[in-house]
Amino acid sequence: MRARAVNPRKRGEMTKAEIAFKTQCDWLNAFFDHVRYESHTLRFGELRYTPDFTGVRTEDGQVCHFEVKPAGHRHVYTDAAKIKLKTFSAEYGEYVFFLAWPDKKQPRGWHIEEVSNRE
Count up the domains in the chain and report the number. Answer: 1
What pTM value is reported for the model?
A: 0.79
What are the φ and ψ backbone dihedral angles of 21, each rounded to 5 degrees? -60, -45
- CATH number of the domain that residue 23 is part of: 3.40.1350.10
The verdict on residue 44 lying in a domain is yes
Cβ neighbours of residue 55 closer than 8 Å, sequence gap 6 or more: 28, 32, 33, 34, 35, 36, 63, 64, 66
The verdict on residue 3 lying in a domain is no
pLDDT in tens, the chain (119 residues): 555 555 566 667 888 888 888 888 777 877 888 888 999 899 988 889 999 999 998 888 899 999 988 876 555 567 777 788 888 989 998 899 998 888 888 777 888 888 876 54
The residue count of the chain comes to: 119
The verdict on residue 8 lying in a domain is no
Structural domain containing residue 84 = 16-115
The verdict on residue 102 lying in a domain is yes
Contact (CB, 8 A) for 54 and 41: no
